[in-house]
Structure 1
Amino acid sequence: MAILRQLARRKLALFGLAVIAVVVGAAFAAPWIVAYSPNEQLFDGLTLEGAPLPPDGRFWFGTDLLGRDLFSRIVYGARTSLIIGIVANGAAVLIGAVVGVTAGFLRGFVGAALMRFTDLMMAFPALLLAIVLAAIFSPSLWIVALVIAMVNWVQVARVIYTETTSITERDFVTAERSLGATPPRILMRHVLPHLVSTMVVWGTLGIATTVLLEATLSYLGVGVQPPTPSWGNIIFENQTYFATAPWLVFVPGIAIVMLALAFNLVGDALRDILDPTQKGRF
């Protein structure tokens, strides 16, 4: 509750929370707030010339090149972005935390081997590696989430490793060891509690990166496959109409930017609140 009160005092964080709440609420309530199925090709959804309809009172965001209601596809696409953002980033944080804590706590050969593998993974461009992995496996919602998790855990592992190494060298850990505390007790009672704030911040900030990466993969055609709506593949499907029907690109593009910005604002505020070096500065 104290964290929520501090977030509420920050206007940018409050704006981010409001945007996230709207997107999450729309995703959960999608069946009740949209008038059409996201994959329904409406008989009157195109002009006589076969062009998409512009936004009006009936189609709030217009229709796409197949005559489908764009508002319905944007709302259902929010589900895809949130599922992948939360699942993929949650898995990335979990994998990175396990690798980082193990390497930083055990040190020695195990720690060196894990961090050299992490460095090897960091040497590959994340987008290129994600494209290769997505092309190898048959793209689907959960495969895309898995692919993103496989390329995003390395940054978390490096940060957690650094913090774990620093914590294990502090005086209170040395004192615990001198008193005969077992390694599991030191890990559970003194190391992991100090890493929770870092994992929370990375878990929030990383969602924005994950949403953007999913949109990029879908735009390139190796992400979530049609007809499942995704903000990235909506842009990919309709990019040829950019000049004559710009709303087909701008609306999902704005949705991606706003959601990523919202998570970044909240994550940045959480970092300031949970970082003890920032206490008393605001």
Structure 2
Amino acid sequence: MVRGRPAVLLGLLVILAAVLAAVLAPVLAPYDPNAQMFDGLTLEGAPLPPGGAYLLGTDLLGRDLLSRLLYGARTSLIIGIVANGIAVLIGAVVGITAGYFRGWIGTALMGFTDLMMAFPALLLAIVLAAIFHPSLWIVALVIAMVNWVQVARVLYTQTSALSEREFVVSVRALGASDGRILWHHILPHVVPTIIVWATLGISTTVLLEATLSFLGIGVQPPTASWGNIIFENQTYFQSAPWLVFFPGICIVLLALSFNLVGDGLRDLLDPMQKGRG
């Protein structure tokens, strides 16, 4: 996958760095991410710029920005993986079930899917996040609830086509049960699609979490999140731009890296993609 693809290799390295930062945050972080340092502000009460004892500077409360970014990587990765994992699971169950059984079951499931797709994902996420008390796991669940529909639609189309293939018709004629057909003959053909969506979707969930946190209805302070770091410090954008730039570049790099790796997996697992573009 990475041979002759430096962009994919770069994406893997960035993801690995983010995972290591998240896992080793207690070791790598020079300070407690929520500790307000007595020397973390200037005499005028402004954040300290990067350099010196605080490598990336401090925020408006005198907290070390590097420490908060390292712990924020945990939040982004946990939500990205958990939310996207739930979304892919729901989408796979709905899409494969509707595509295989069709009839009134498929009509009902895909009708509900189309209804969910009619609502703007961000608006629906904002409404759900506002209804429930935002926390790390609630935000992950909310994001999953708005992101499963694309997976369901793609897998429905693929499963519908597979159900008409000769090998499926043959095993059905031989008396194979629906469960056996789904497990042994349908699922192996859609697993590559599921893997690709499981990778590409993480970037979407990371961006959506950052958006919700920036709007103040995502992960709540003092828990560090790249989105709420920007939200908390946006008023200092002109006087202390590093408070917005550093978390912003972290979000962009992580989302871009998952997209690059997802594209590489798609080319590797889907023969139809090889040789294109």
- TM category (shorter chain) comes to over 0.9
1:48 is matched with which residue? Answer: 43
* 8 Å contact from structure 1 (residues 53, 63) kept in 2: yes
Alignment of 1:117-196 (within 5 A): 117-196=112-191
CA 76–8 in structure 1, closer or farther in 2 if over 3 Å, else same: farther
1:29 is matched with which residue? Answer: 24
Aligned residue among 34, 43, 52 for 1:39: 34
**1:210-258 residue CA offsets vs partner (Å, 9 max, x unmatched):** 0000000000000000000000000000000000000000000000000
* 8 Å contact from structure 1 (residues 7, 270) kept in 2: no
Aligned residue among 234, 242, 249 for 1:247: 242
Q: Matched residues in 1 for 2:3 and 2:249: separation?
A: 25
1:179 shift after superposition: 2.1
1:150 counterpart SS class: helix
2:238 counterpart SS class: coil
* 8 Å contact from structure 1 (residues 42, 67) kept in 2: yes
* 8 Å contact from structure 1 (residues 219, 235) kept in 2: yes
* 8 Å contact from structure 1 (residues 27, 75) kept in 2: yes
Q: Matched residues in 1 for 2:95 and 2:129: separation?
A: 25
Letter in 2 for 1:141: L
Letter in 2 for 1:77: G
* 8 Å contact from structure 1 (residues 131, 222) kept in 2: yes
RMSD: 1.1
Q: Matched residues in 2 for 1:59 and 1:267: separation?
A: 35
1:105 is matched with which residue? Answer: 100
Q: Matched residues in 2 for 1:215 and 1:64: separation?
A: 18
Alignment of 1:8-19 (within 5 A): 8-19=3-14
The alignment status of 1:69 with 2:64, answered yes or no, reads yes
Letter in 2 for 1:51: A
1:265 is matched with which residue? Answer: 260
Q: Matched residues in 1 for 2:230 and 2:126: separation?
A: 18
Q: Matched residues in 2 for 1:128 and 1:277: separation?
A: 35
Moved over 4 A (4+): 279-282
1:38 shift after superposition: 0.3
Letter in 2 for 1:76: Y
How many residues align structurally? Answer: 277
**Structure 1: gaps (5+ residues):** 1-5
1:230 is matched with which residue? Answer: 225
Q: Matched residues in 1 for 2:222 and 2:50: separation?
A: 22
1:3 is matched with which residue? Answer: none
Q: Matched residues in 2 for 1:148 and 1:26: separation?
A: 23
CA 242–281 in structure 1, closer or farther in 2 if over 3 Å, else same: closer
1:8 shift after superposition: 4.3
Q: Matched residues in 1 for 2:274 and 2:245: separation?
A: 40
1:119 counterpart SS class: helix
**1:40-80 residue CA offsets vs partner (Å, 9 max, x unmatched):** 00000000000000000321110000000000000000000
1:233 counterpart SS class: helix
